[in-house]
Amino acid sequence: MARPRLLILPLLVAAAAVLWSPLDRALAKTAKKSDDIVNGPLLTSKINAKRTLIVGPEDEFKTVQSAIDAVPVGNTEWVIVHLRSGIYREKVVIPETKPFIFVRGNGKGRTSISHESASPHNAESSAFTVHASNVIVFGVSFRVLTRYTRRLNERSQNSARAGLPNIPEVRTVAAMVSGDKVAFYHCAFYSPHHTLFDSTGRHYYESCYIQGNIDFIFGGGQSIFQCPEIFVKPDRRTEIKGSITAQNRKEEDSSGFVFIKGKVYGVGQVYLGRANEAYSRVIFADTYLSRTINPAGWTNLGYNGATDHMLLGEYNCTGPGAAAANSMTRVPWARQFTKEEADKFLTVDFINGKEWLPAYYY
- In the chain, the domains with their CATH numbers are 5-360 (2.160.20.10)
Q: Using one digit for the tens of pLDDT, what is the confidence trace for 239-252?
A: 657 899 999 899 98
pLDDT of residue 122: 78
Q: How far apart are CA 43 and CA 106, in angstroms?
A: 13
Query: In residues, how long is the chain?
Result: 362
208 DSSP 8-state letter? -
Longest CA pairwise span in the chain (Å): 61
Q: What per-residue confidence (pLDDT) applies to 15?
A: 33
pLDDT in tens, 306-324: 888 999 999 999 999 999 9
CA angle 159, 161, 163 (to 5 degrees): 105
What pLDDT sits at residue 148? 47
61: which DSSP letter? B
Q: How many CB atoms lie within 10 A of CB 296?
A: 15
**Least-confidence region, from 23-37, 190-204, 216-230, 338-352:** 23-37
Q: What is the rounded distance in angstroms from the CA atom of residue 217 to the CA atom of residue 244?
A: 6
- Active-site residue set: 215
